């Protein structure tokens, strides 16, 4: 049984009594049944049944039906009267004024017709109030438009009727003024430069003064420019045209905004008590919006439906694919396919198909929730938003989503699809023997890594150990050097700080690959630095740094310590300069030593500000491919320990590069990538979570 509520609510929560007396009586009887005794319930139910049976004979419904018939006649007459009014105005006014006056006439007629029927329905109240607002405010808009049109015509006449002699005279005066202003500007500029040479003003004050002089010169010339009759007339024409275009649009927007305020405070009454439209139309976004009376919104959702049913779903089923078969191709991976079919393409197209299906599901859910929300509110009495209200809400409340939507789509295809491909590839057997066609093999690759078996799993743990050592020592050394140099450069007793800061930033300023290649040459077998090492330490057997695993690693850690120190130096310098001197003065009064000041004041503040960025340095060095590859290509090589796929200084990232690009072990490379990615994410999460900057809002 349909349950009618006794009261209605508007969009801002105000309560209203029903104007529909039939629904009001039904709701009261339904409420009486709830509180009636068992003996009374039968009588009340019988009364309710009789009321519903005689629904069409109810006095209110009879009156409402009579009004609907009169309304149909009125609307038909309204169309005819509007056409006649428009025809009578044509030729007497501009097109803009004709349209506005026709609208104002139509709304005036509606206001007069619906005024006697305001107590019959809330819809009549809204139509009357809307017609009243538009009729009154359009009068003022029409007056403004007519005044602007008259002013525009007057300005056009001025443009063609000015005195040529007077106009030429004003042009000559403008030329004289420009010359005068230029000379005046040069003198004032020279005076400022003299003050700068004398030390009376700073370089910044000089530049600001010149800017101000230019601004004054321009303002004086512009005033004289518009004193020329022809230029003044053109500017007036431009201004009045803008007022007619933008000003009228602004006035109409104000009217719509006023109408929207009335709509929010005017409820609606519907016979429906269950939101069925949302469930019946969920399969076709846009249809539910049509049933809710939101026509323009429905067009947007119909466009989304077209995308879902003509692009996303067909693609997922294998239509319009390059080679694959949509989601089915992701499962089969081209098994039993043509000779030229490639499993990787089937996989990628299957992943894209899944994301397109996700987009489709999101569209269906959004459309369903929108229809359901509007229906539920409508049953309570809240009037659905018109297009003006919807558009305003979208651009105000939904603006972040509109801006983020293109980025989301780009992220899906640029980031998520490759990530999903790498994850799924790790569960296949794509290797040198299975490049075109490969199969699903489950967790076999991860098992090889965990047990340290196979051609790729064997060297994994050795390389992982060196990668961890490299990450910890290289990053920590860079942090120590950078922070130490920042402390020195920030010391008050150090002279020529600007020079030293510029020198300390050189490792960051110079492209890293140049530095790495330079040191690679100097540490070669006959390199100058290799020769210096042998001379200084006087080794029994001359060492070749790049052929010795220990010295190669030490050199790489030292080199990265120097390269990474500049970034840490820059971070630390900025923080050190921002530490209040009062803290150190208070510590000095308390008798603190230099070490105590460093440990209790400087280090906590610097770490608080830079900890998240320093954690990022560790994750960066874990995957620092360039220094390993450029310095020695991962060598020296030790096949007995690392096989033929890696060298003694290879990190996991360079190892993966060789596996996938040089030896075609893409599947095991993807598995290793997933393992280290999960490890890095866990490390970064723990590091960020435990840093003081994330635990406290302020120091």
pLDDT-derived band at 693 (thresholds 50, 70, 90) equals low
Evaluate if residue 550 carries a pLDDT over 70.
Answer: yes
Produce one character per residue of 569-607: b if its CB has 16 or more CB atoms within 10 Å, e if not: bebbbebbeeeeeeeeeebeeeebeeeeeeeebbeebbb
Evaluate if residue 109 carries a pLDDT over 50.
Answer: yes
Beta carbons within 8 Å of 388's beta carbon, 6+ residues apart: 256, 257, 259, 260
Query: What percent of the chain clears pLDDT 90, i.e. is strictly above it?
Result: 44
Tens digits of residue pLDDT in 671-683: 999 999 998 888 8
Per DSSP, the residues of 82-145 read HHHHHHHHBTTB-HHHHHHHHHHHHHHHHHHHHGGGTTT-HHHHHHHHHHHHHHHHHHHHHHHH
Give the CA angle between residues 133, 139, 145 to the nearest 5°: 130
CA-to-CA distance for 456 and 655, rounded, in angstroms? 9
Residue ranges of the alpha helices (H) in 414-511? 417-425, 444-451, 454-489, 497-504, 506-509
- Burial class, 502, CB count within 10 angstroms (exposed 0-12 / middle 13-18 / buried 19+): exposed
CA-to-CA distance for 549 and 561, rounded, in angstroms? 18
Give the CA angle between residues 662, 665, 670 to the nearest 5°: 115
Beta carbons within 8 Å of 194's beta carbon, 6+ residues apart: none
Most confident of 162-166, 419-423, 656-660: 419-423
Beta carbons within 8 Å of 488's beta carbon, 6+ residues apart: 494, 500
Tens digits of residue pLDDT in 408-449: 889 999 999 999 999 999 999 999 988 889 999 999 999 988
CA-to-CA distance for 682 and 415, rounded, in angstroms? 20
CA-to-CA distance for 231 and 162, rounded, in angstroms? 11
Q: Identify the CATH number of the domain defined by range 444-695.
A: 1.10.3720.10
CB 483 within 8 A of CB 606: yes
Mean per-residue pLDDT, 639-657: 87
CB 647 within 8 A of CB 637: yes
Evaluate if residue 605 carries a pLDDT over 60.
Answer: yes
Tens digits of residue pLDDT in 4-34: 888 899 888 899 999 999 988 888 888 888 8
Give the CA angle between residues 275, 277, 283 to the nearest 5°: 130
Tens digits of residue pLDDT in 153-162: 998 888 888 7
Nearest CA among 241, 220, 223, 242 for reference residue 232: 223
CA-to-CA distance for 457 and 667, rounded, in angstroms? 12
Per DSSP, the residues of 297-350 read HHHHHHHHHHHIIIIIHHHHTTTT-SS--THHHHHHTTTT--TT--HHHHHHHH
Secondary element (H or E) of residue 8: strand 7-9
Predicted confidence at residue 136, as pLDDT, reads 94
Predicted confidence at residue 104, as pLDDT, reads 94
Mean per-residue pLDDT, 50-61: 90
Predicted confidence at residue 699, as pLDDT, reads 40
Mean per-residue pLDDT, 484-504: 80
CB 46 within 8 A of CB 417: no
Evaluate if residue 698 carries a pLDDT over 50.
Answer: no
Could you tell me if residue 452 is left (phi over 0), alpha (psi between -120 and 50 degrees) or otherwise beta? left
Query: What percent of the chain clears pLDDT 70, i.e. is strictly above it?
Result: 98
Tell me, letter by letter, the H, E, C secondary structure of 38-77: HHHHHHHHHHHHHHHHCHHHCHHHHHHHHHHHHHHHHHHH
pLDDT-derived band at 39 (thresholds 50, 70, 90) equals confident
CB 269 within 8 A of CB 8: yes
Tens digits of residue pLDDT in 248-299: 999 999 999 999 999 999 999 988 888 888 999 999 999 999 998 888 899 9
CB 200 within 8 A of CB 191: no
What value does the CA radius of gyration of the chain take, rounded to a whole number of Å?
Answer: 40
CA distances from 175 to 120, 229, 269, 679 (A): 73, 15, 72, 73
CB 116 within 8 A of CB 16: no
- Report helix angle 122-161 to 229-242, nearest 10: 170
CA distances from 443 to 425, 449, 450 (A): 11, 10, 11
CA distances from 465 to 460, 469, 535, 557, 599 (A): 9, 6, 32, 15, 32
The ranges assigned to domains in the chain are 277-425, 444-695
pLDDT-derived band at 641 (thresholds 50, 70, 90) equals confident
CA-to-CA distance for 241 and 145, rounded, in angstroms? 10
Tens digits of residue pLDDT in 208-258: 989 999 999 899 888 888 888 888 888 889 998 999 899 999 999 999 999
Nearest CA among 569, 564, 573 for reference residue 515: 564
- pTM for this structure? 0.79
Per DSSP, the residues of 477-493 read HHHHHHHHHHHHHT-TT
Nearest CA among 565, 537, 553, 511 for reference residue 649: 553
pLDDT-derived band at 638 (thresholds 50, 70, 90) equals confident
DSSP 8-state symbol, 507? H
Evaluate if residue 349 carries a pLDDT over 90.
Answer: yes
CB 24 within 8 A of CB 39: no
CA-to-CA distance for 255 and 233, rounded, in angstroms? 32
CB 658 within 8 A of CB 634: yes
DSSP 8-state symbol, 16? E
First to last CA, the chain: 63
The whole-chain average pLDDT of the chain stands at 88
SS3 366: helix
Per DSSP, the residues of 528-563 read HHHHHHHHHHT-SS---GGG-HHHHHHHHHHHHHHH
């Amino acid at each position: 049984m349909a349950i009618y509520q006794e009261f209605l609510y508007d969009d801002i929560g105000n309560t209203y009594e029903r104007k529909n007396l039939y629904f009001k009586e039904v709701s009261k009887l339904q409420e009486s049944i709830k509180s009636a005794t068992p003996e009374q319930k039968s009588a009340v139910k019988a009364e309710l049944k009789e009321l519903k049976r005689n629904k069409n004979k109810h006095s209110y419904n009879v009156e409402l039906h009579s009004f609907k018939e009169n309304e149909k006649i009125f609307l038909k007459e309204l169309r005819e009267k509007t056409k006649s009014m428009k025809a009578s105005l044509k030729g007497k006014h501009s097109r803009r004024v004709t349209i506005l006056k026709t609208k104002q006439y139509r709304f005036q007629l509606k206001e007069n017709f619906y005024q006697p029927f305001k107590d019959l329905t809330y819809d009549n109240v809204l139509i009357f109030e809307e017609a009243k607002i538009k009729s009154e405010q359009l009068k003022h808009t029409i007056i403004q438009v007519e005044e602007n049109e008259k002013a525009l015509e007057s300005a056009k006449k001025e443009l063609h009727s000015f005195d040529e002699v007077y106009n030429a005279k004003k042009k000559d005066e403008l030329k004289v003024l420009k010359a005068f202003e230029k000379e005046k500007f040069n003198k004032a500029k020279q005076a400022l430069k003299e003050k700068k040479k004398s030390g009376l003003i700073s370089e910044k004050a000089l530049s600001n003064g010149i800017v101000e002089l230019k601004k004054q010169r321009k303002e004086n010339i512009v005033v004289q420019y518009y004193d020329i009759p022809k230029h003044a007339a053109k500017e007036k024409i431009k201004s009045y045209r803008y007022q007619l275009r933008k000003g009228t649009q602004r006035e109409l927007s104000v009217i719509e905004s006023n109408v929207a305020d009335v709509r929010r405070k005017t409820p609606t009454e519907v016979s429906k008590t269950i939101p069925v439209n949302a469930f019946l139309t969920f399969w076709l976004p846009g249809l539910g919006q049509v049933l809710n009376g939101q026509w323009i919104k429905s067009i947007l959702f119909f466009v989304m439906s077209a995308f879902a049913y003509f692009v996303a779903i067909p693609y997922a089923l294998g239509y319009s694919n390059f080679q694959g078969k949509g989601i089915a191709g992701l499962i089969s991976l081209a098994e039993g396919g043509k000779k030229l079919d490639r499993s990787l393409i089937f996989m990628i197209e299957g992943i894209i198909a899944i994301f397109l299906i996700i987009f489709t599901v999101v569209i269906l859910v959004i459309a369903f929730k929108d229809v359901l929300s509007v229906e539920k509110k409508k049953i309570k009495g809240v009037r659905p938003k018109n297009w003006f209200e919807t558009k305003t809400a979208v651009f105000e409340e939904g603006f972040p989503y509109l801006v983020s939507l293109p980025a989301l789509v780009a992220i899906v295809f640029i980031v998520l699809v490759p990530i999903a491909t790498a994850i799924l590839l790790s569960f296949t057997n794509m290797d040198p023997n299975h490049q075109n066609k490969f199969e699903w093999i489950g967790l076999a690759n991860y098992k090889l890594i965990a047990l340290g078996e196979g051609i790729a799993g064997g060297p994994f743990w050795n390389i992982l150990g060196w990668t961890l050592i490299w990450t910890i020592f290289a990053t920590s050394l860079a942090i120590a050097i950078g922070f130490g140099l920042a402390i020195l450069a920030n010391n008050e007793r150090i002279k020529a700080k600007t020079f030293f800061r510029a020198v300390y930033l050189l490792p960051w300023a110079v492209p890293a690959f140049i530095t790495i290649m330079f040191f690679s040459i100097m540490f070669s077998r006959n390199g100058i630095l290799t020769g210096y090492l042998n001379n200084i330490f006087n080794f029994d057997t001359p060492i070749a740094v790049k052929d010795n695993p220990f010295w190669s690693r030490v050199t790489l850690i030292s080199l990265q310590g120097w390269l990474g120190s500049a970034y840490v130096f820059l971070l630390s310098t900025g923080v050190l300069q921002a530490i209040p001197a009062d803290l150190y003065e208070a510590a000095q009064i308390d008798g603190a030593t230099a070490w105590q000041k460093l440990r209790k004041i400087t280090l906590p503040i610097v770490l608080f500000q830079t900890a998240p960025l320093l954690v990022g340095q560790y994750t960066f060095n874990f995957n620092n491919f360039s220094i390993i590859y450029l310095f020695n290509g991962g060598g020296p090589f030790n096949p007995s320990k690392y096989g033929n796929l890696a060298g003694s200084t290879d990190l996991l990232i360079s190892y993966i590069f060789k596996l996938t690009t040089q030896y075609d072990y893409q599947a095991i490379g993807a598995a290793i990538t997933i393992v280290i990615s999960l490890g890095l994410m866990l490390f970064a999460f723990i590091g960020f979570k435990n840093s003081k900057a994330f635990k406290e809002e302020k120091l």
